[in-house]
Amino acid sequence: MPGLFGTLLGSKFPDTQKYELKIKNLKSDYKRYQDYENSSFYKRYLELDKLIHSGDFEKKVKKLKNEKFKDTDQYRKYKNFKTLSKSKDIKSFFKFKNSGYPERIDKILSSEEYQRYIELKNFIESPAFREAKSTKGFKKSPEYKKLKEFKRLKKSSDIRFINKTLSSASFKNYERMKSSKRLKNYNELEQYVNSKEFLDFKSYMEDPKRFKKSEEYGLINEYEDIKKTPDFIWYTKTKKHNNFDDLNKWQLTFSDEFDGSSLDTDKWITGYFWGKALMNQTYVLENEKQFFTDKNIELRDSLVKISTKKEKVKGKIWHSKFGFMPADFEYTSGLISTGQSFRQKYGKFEAKVRISDSHPVTHSFWMVAEQNVPQVDILRLNSKSSKKINIGCHYADGKESKNITFDITGANFSNDFYIFTLEWYPDKMIWKINGEKVKELTSNIPQEPMYLVFSSHILEDKEPGNMPASMDIDWVRCYKQNE
């Protein structure tokens, strides 16, 4: 339940900013938890934990007392280095590298002469040249001059050198080896076998106290050091009091943070679905006093703003008796919908929304299926009071449409952001505001995919106050339930 301060400030819901920060921190903690769980540090801890507590570990410690240099990993690294240093590809690599050829190759490849050579080569190999060559008078043509220039360049020492070298086995070996793991391994081993650590190893093997200098002793210390790190302590404490069940429950399926400079038309259409899908036109219903235009939808400061304005415009209405008809409107507004891009059956659907109080302008965040019903209102402000919103479900009962609606109070919903959420399951729907459950419905639950709609309407012959009215959407996120 929200705290005392929320009640004293006139809202029974958690503060939006604090709630969002709480969710953000929870997600951040969850990512930190997952990152650590998948980190090399934790994997190393698990390896060491298994190793150090195994029955073989004590035998390995005892073995150190009788172990010979040739039985050690250090010796095997040394032998590996010697083998690599004698290998044909490594020797060939360093011979080529030290020959000065790489520098000469780079110089030639960047030269004007070589660029001209390649240009002429491409031309000589082109269909246009072959056609010109078969034409009468070819030896007097510009193409012939280019052929002669190409042959002259091909004989130059640099071109002959580059053509020969680039196709040589030694160059190919050099190119293959210079970024290879094999060469990297060789360099690391070379550095290792020339290190003081390695050179001191033989005398260490004769040291009666060599266990404290051994790998096993180091592993024990490494294991204990990991357990003392703040990240490990935080991870084990967090694992004991796991608060990530709700995050684990959901998988993101659709989102828009509205960070672009214009509405993402791959996600959103700006009118009723059937108008856009069938006619690529906008219309409104016969009881609506406004007309939807794209000008009333603006992206700014990572928000999408739907504005309702008093301005005259011509448009179309859908009349139940006469079909589409032209009409004059005194007001304009906007609608965005995922009707052509995203529909989902069951899941969590939420948005961070700010609405202005401009009765009788109705601001809505809703979902609808292929027909007019089923339809779900996640947020609808159409009251004379900004302290009351409406939620609910509209469904078909035979040929008749029926409504189950609820008035929600507890805050002034105007001019501040709130996070409105619908959790939709096969057997129930739960509405939440800033994470606080406000209503649960267990009857007449929709059983078909629905899409998202955000819109502002005027449904009464009454001039709105506080114009222009606006509905600002900070973000939209939809999830499906994990198995």
pLDDT-derived band of residue 212, with 50, 70 and 90 as boundaries? Answer: confident
Cα(144)–Cα(181) distance, rounded to whole angstroms? 48
Q: What is the mean pLDDT of the chain?
A: 90
Give the domain ranges of the chain: 56-219, 255-481
User: pLDDT tens digits for 445-464?
Assistant: 999 999 999 999 999 888 88
Measured in whole angstroms, the distance separating CA 104 from the mean position of its chain's CA atoms is 45
User: pLDDT tens digits for 270-323?
Assistant: 999 988 877 788 999 999 999 999 999 999 999 999 999 999 999 999 888 888
So what's the pLDDT on residue 10? 52
360: three-class secondary structure by DSSP: coil
What is the spatial order of strands in the sheet that 388-397 belongs to?
Answer: 335-337, 451-458, 361-368, 375-381, 388-397, 400-409
pTM of the model: 0.65
DSSP letter for each residue of 28-60: HHHHHHHHHHTSHHHHHHHHHHHHHTSTHHHHH
So what's the pLDDT on residue 7? 38
Q: What is the mean pLDDT of residues 320-348?
A: 94
Which two tokens mark 314? 């011509």
User: pLDDT tens digits for 160-175?
Assistant: 999 999 999 999 999 9
pLDDT-derived band of residue 206, with 50, 70 and 90 as boundaries? Answer: low
Q: What is the mean pLDDT of residues 150-154?
A: 91
- The more confidently predicted of residues 74 and 395 is 395
Backbone angles phi, psi at 110, to 5 degrees: -95, 0
Place of tokens 């399951």: 425
User: Crossing angle of helices 230-240/215-228, nearest 10°?
Assistant: 60
pLDDT at 65 over 80: no
Cα(317)–Cα(329) distance, rounded to whole angstroms? 10
pLDDT-derived band of residue 359, with 50, 70 and 90 as boundaries? Answer: confident
Cα(334)–Cα(313) distance, rounded to whole angstroms? 13
So what's the pLDDT on residue 242? 76
Do residues 445 and 338 make contact, with C-beta atoms less than 8 angstroms apart? no
- Local structure of residue 69 (DSSP, 8 states): G
Do residues 415 and 354 make contact, with C-beta atoms less than 8 angstroms apart? yes
Integer-rounded Cα Rg, in Å, for the chain is: 37
User: pLDDT tens digits for 99-139?
Assistant: 999 999 999 999 999 999 999 999 999 998 988 888 888 88
Please name the fold of domain 255-481. Jelly Rolls (2.60.120)
pLDDT at 3 over 50: no
Cβ-count burial of 334 within 10 angstroms (0-12 exposed, 13-18 middle, 19+ buried)?
Answer: buried
- The more confidently predicted of residues 114 and 241 is 114
Q: What percentage of the chain has pLDDT greater than the value 90?
A: 67
Place of tokens 């580059």: 162
Cα(211)–Cα(384) distance, rounded to whole angstroms? 82
